[in-house]
Structure 1
């Protein structure tokens, strides 16, 4: 903590935050800023946000955040010194202290989770087969001669997606995991354990060393490399003992997976303190082909890369980390699909959490099939609409129908548990009118769509035009002169100014006029090459480097401070964790081991308490993962969803509530539960014993005895059955 002029500041550095003392001042913190290598909470407004020179980075001197709005054909450098939009005070609420378990008590930001693929650096699941590439089959000299779709259609895969028999002429099945992982992601290196059930010959290729085959298993070591992947091959299948249930886990976390845990602890550590998680990419929302409930992703699917992550898993993640889930249902999903999905969420989500419910994603964006589908539906229903806005009117009508199904599912609980969202294009003023009013739908006797929603969603992107074809020659010139960082920062500020001064206030007024809360469904840098520009290696290298500099972190600080000043609701960054490429630098973290000023800006802003709603802070608390040692000990959980994993020795495990998973490991292990034996029901999921008392569920693996503290009863467990 220190004084900066007349401003009292609290400093974040290296992921930590010192306590804040006001020294006789009663002001709330008013902004966040990156100054001299640290994130700062500012109690009185700085004269201007400044970006100092940072040795070791691409470097600028001090730069006032200023700039002209971008023109229709690109950007113009600014010529004035200090805009009024950065001189005004930005009022936000007091920063939240951390709970004893490290949880941010009242977080303020959401984050979009990344696409589930074999090349994703998010690595959300303990079992890497959950994000494996769908199986293909090769022929001699033809890699992938049989696509996954063809294999499934012609009956060569099980309903879950596991190889069952080889097509004639095929040399084998293959899948890929841990593809093109950056060398800097050091924590994912190690020894891995691959296991499967059924009769098959399993082979490994690619980034594997020290291969040690066993019966139904292979151990190997892996080190990340952007130039390769782990390739898993399968041949010699036997219909009498079908191949199935392959898992791949880092060996030191095998007990965690056996105990029933789903999520990678390193992933959880990065995302668990956000207020909300938007699942658009996890649900494969864009261009989705799902229609009926039977088309949905299943927990038993061999991989969740193809159809998306099941609702059961998304709800489980929200419950475990204490975050509001934001779902984006497929555009073709029928009413039964919506009703079943919403009912599952109602029944299984922590009742203290809220649901953001949205139909599809960006049904104004003709880059996506859902917009073409909406246009076709509108033409079939109404013919050619005057003004050509039939597609967005239909989007409003269908979105309202889906929102009404959510409302019906939640019934009287909807007011406290449900937030129905409709989104528009931020830069297309006026598009919201046919979306929210849908006069062609109203003419059919329907209510205006706006009446079915609670929130109106826009974006918070800046820098889109910087990567345009018109800008490419100028960018290359700046790179040659060594001034690209300063110039691009200037352009990004100009775009950010237009967003803050023009688009956001416009949409905030629309929201207020319709009695809706303004939220941001995505936001952050949009600096990426357009068309042929993305193929320019020099520009791509600059963009992917610049996106993680202190200059970018400072821009994020301004973005998030100005959003708080707007008085709107949730801001949801896009996205959390993904590797930068010529297609964009969307991830605030490039991999799970990354650290950079842009991510630090999100963390700092997230720690400033949300001011738009009053919630019990306990709903945002996380569960814990507690790993034992090789000696007997006592492991005690929390009231949240926990994993208690003992190792060797005779251990005592004490869960305190939630959906806990307990693994005793070798030895004589005891679990202590409240109440009497008669209070609990016993079942099995095939792998573990499951005990339930009301809403409290405890999953037991490798546990020999359960003691019930209210009665002295004991239960002897001999297996999961």
Structure 2
């Protein structure tokens, strides 16, 4: 870590200046786009950091991984430092470290150059116990490149090989005092987007941290395995790009951890702990004014696949509380025998806890503007993670203050979360099995497949039906890397051929238009660098600097500049919407067995699957208004008995119909039109919820005039 004064000087200037990310949002006339970023490593291909030590991995001289790392990851014995396995640009790199060592460099030149790399101008300053040297790469490298440190002496008093501390390897042209974190090309790539999601950057899928003291501090040296990069570095990236930032909290993080992260985002930190109030010169500044912070619990906690440790952790936590009626997820007794219902509620519960903790730090006025909590779920409301989470939260938080279990403030869904939804990945109907023109033409002709639109619409109806923004936490094309493609991911070379094909640009533009037309509002693309099917760089043809011109990035340039596509999801009103049309009209139902379809109507049956008013089954019906205005809402029904049906619009209660029973369970007579409820609709897409509160009823149509 550079001297403290240097960090203060270099970073404090980031607080000033207009925040670029604030200029585009979900309501802007052009799309609001996000990008995921990966963990730093010598093989990631991002070239993100000005200091290559952030990407490097320390190994022993026999290539073992045990280097006796100290509390900050620095080796305590002789070691190798691998700084690349792809390509690195030619030039003179500035090396510095605390201590003494014999240093050599190994790297293979790209393109047949015969000039070898070398260590030049090595000097040791005894007063500061600092060694400096130039690492000269005459040509771009390919494959593994490393520095070897021998006869290490950590201090002036050292008598044996005991490693080094405070290592840095600065790229050519960057200052050596730490005032610049990221390379100019990486910043340029990030500025193509408006939002940066750091899920992989902080290792959300396998981050075991519980307490704040376990997180990665800013002074950490080299590669970080399971705990991810420091939060300060992610905030610095947002500040340097002017982008909004998306945080994924570790699944097992305790309440104190959550609060300290909220403090760090608001006030900055000293590199170890967050400040608790504004500082004139924070060592590591907070998020710039005007930028937004998105907050998500873990990542894909429904995913039981390899590498997704959060699923098991969350399931274990849910099982701990599922039979405890004093815990919020079990307050109604519904989870005692159902661990997966408990898991769905646990995800919503901890997501709501994040929201309320950030509210306590930032204040009410910042919620849903500066602070935007997210309820993420499986795509297309699969396995009802989204709907069960929303219904549980509406029941527990929205009805009343509670003491056992505790809910000190009743909050509506839109006061807990800003957005909700699953992923927005897409592949083609024809799998990318080879690179023949016939196969590739068929692939691009069927990209994206029909499931993409259906899943987008489903998530949009659920999110917007509860008053939330429809969000895709991840998404984009991934040739051969998606389950709907019917094949496993191909080789990096095969995948690269598809991703680099000029047709990919047009199909990505078309897919984003489909996403918007079907109600999607924010898509955070996955991933700038990472697994070959999804990456926006090209690991089969790696660049020696951060890539800014791949076909996928060209597509983002085009998407970012095109006007948003008009929404087509939902029935244009005024209209009479026949409820048995179901999915054909974009209608979603919750409550399972509470609903029955008939040729003439949709029947709600009391007592089956309903658990009181808060958990009454709903029919969610998307509608579109050409312009904002007040409308009359009526129901055409066959009421079996006296029934109350609640009308909600975009999560807000608009009225209640009291229907008088007329057919005694045998509804063969003419339907009855209810009295009218007058309510406003905004221009564009809205989602109407019909929620029977009592009795049984056949609903033929919703009429909006």
Into which bin does the TM-score normalised by the smaller protein fall? 0.5 to 0.7
Q: Does the residue aligned with 2:363 lie in a helix, a strand or coil?
A: helix
Paired position in structure 2 for 1:340: 260
Paired position in structure 2 for 1:192: 93
Paired position in structure 1 for 2:290: 352
User: How far apart, CA to CA, are the structure 1 residues paired with 2:101 and 2:320?
Assistant: 51
- Is the alpha carbon distance of 1:211 and 1:176 closer, same or farther for their aligned partners in structure 2, counting shifts above 3 Å? same
Runs of 4+ in 1 over 6 A off after TM superposition: 530-533, 609-612
Work out which of the residue numbers 211, 220, 224 in structure 1 matches 2:136: 220
Q: Does 1:492 align with 2:393?
A: no
- Is the alpha carbon distance of 1:449 and 1:550 closer, same or farther for their aligned partners in structure 2, counting shifts above 3 Å? farther
Pairing 1:587-666 to 2, within 5 Å after superposition = 587=536, 591=543, 592-593=546-547, 595-608=549-562
Q: Does the residue aligned with 2:144 lie in a helix, a strand or coil?
A: coil
Q: Does 1:160 align with 2:75?
A: no
Work out which of the residue numbers 302, 310, 315 in structure 2 matches 1:370: 310
Aligned residue pairs total 469
Paired position in structure 2 for 1:176: 82
Higher-Rg member (1/2): 2
Paired position in structure 1 for 2:59: 136
Paired position in structure 1 for 2:118: 210
User: How far apart, CA to CA, are the structure 2 residues paired with 1:459 and 1:409?
Assistant: 29
Work out whether residues 118 and 179 of structure 1, in 8 Å CA contact, stay in contact via their aligned partners in 2.
Answer: yes
Work out whether residues 314 and 347 of structure 2, in 8 Å CA contact, stay in contact via their aligned partners in 1.
Answer: yes
Offset of residue 280 of structure 1: 0.9
User: How far apart, CA to CA, are the structure 1 residues paired with 2:390 and 2:195?
Assistant: 25
Pairing 1:407-556 to 2, within 5 Å after superposition = 407-415=359-367, 416-429=369-382, 430-438=384-392, 442=396, 444=405, 450=413, 452-463=416-427, 475=433, 479=435, 482-493=437-448, 495=449, 497-500=450-453, 502-528=454-480, 537=491, 540-556=492-508
Offset of residue 373 of structure 1: 1.0
Work out which of the residue numbers 216, 221, 230 in structure 1 matches 2:146: 230
Work out whether residues 276 and 324 of structure 1, in 8 Å CA contact, stay in contact via their aligned partners in 2.
Answer: yes
- Give me the TM-score of the superposition, normalised by structure 1: 0.60
Pairing 1:668-683 to 2, within 5 Å after superposition = none
Q: List per-residue Cα deviations over 1:134-189 (Å, max 9, x = no partner).
A: x2324xxx530xx34xx5xxxx333211122x3xxxxx3222112223xxx7xx22
Offset of residue 192 of structure 1: 1.8
- Is the alpha carbon distance of 1:324 and 1:530 closer, same or farther for their aligned partners in structure 2, counting shifts above 3 Å? closer
User: How far apart, CA to CA, are the structure 2 residues paired with 1:218 and 1:93?
Assistant: 48
User: How far apart, CA to CA, are the structure 1 residues paired with 2:473 and 2:437?
Assistant: 36
User: How far apart, CA to CA, are the structure 1 residues paired with 2:374 and 2:122?
Assistant: 51
- Is the alpha carbon distance of 1:249 and 1:405 closer, same or farther for their aligned partners in structure 2, counting shifts above 3 Å? same
- Is the alpha carbon distance of 1:288 and 1:575 closer, same or farther for their aligned partners in structure 2, counting shifts above 3 Å? same
User: How far apart, CA to CA, are the structure 1 residues paired with 2:183 and 2:192?
Assistant: 15
- Give me the TM-score of the superposition, normalised by structure 2: 0.61
Paired position in structure 2 for 1:386: 338
Q: Does the residue aligned with 1:421 lie in a helix, a strand or coil?
A: strand
- Is the alpha carbon distance of 1:609 and 1:332 closer, same or farther for their aligned partners in structure 2, counting shifts above 3 Å? farther
Work out which of the residue numbers 549, 561, 583 in structure 1 matches 2:513: 561
Q: List per-residue Cα deviations over 1:501-554 (Å, max 9, x = no partner).
A: x111111111121111111211111223589976865xx532221112122111
Offset of residue 482 of structure 1: 4.1
Offset of residue 114 of structure 1: 2.3
Work out whether residues 178 and 224 of structure 1, in 8 Å CA contact, stay in contact via their aligned partners in 2.
Answer: no
Root-mean-square deviation over aligned CA pairs: 3.2
User: How far apart, CA to CA, are the structure 2 residues paired with 1:198 and 1:466?
Assistant: 58
Paired position in structure 2 for 1:25: none
Offset of residue 369 of structure 1: 0.7
- Is the alpha carbon distance of 1:275 and 1:339 closer, same or farther for their aligned partners in structure 2, counting shifts above 3 Å? same
Work out whether residues 35 and 528 of structure 2, in 8 Å CA contact, stay in contact via their aligned partners in 1.
Answer: yes
Work out whether residues 202 and 235 of structure 1, in 8 Å CA contact, stay in contact via their aligned partners in 2.
Answer: no
- Is the alpha carbon distance of 1:372 and 1:222 closer, same or farther for their aligned partners in structure 2, counting shifts above 3 Å? farther
Relative contact order higher in (CA < 8 Å, ≥ 6 apart): 1
User: How far apart, CA to CA, are the structure 1 residues paired with 2:240 and 2:188?
Assistant: 12
Paired position in structure 2 for 1:46: none
Offset of residue 363 of structure 1: 0.8
- Is the alpha carbon distance of 1:459 and 1:534 closer, same or farther for their aligned partners in structure 2, counting shifts above 3 Å? closer
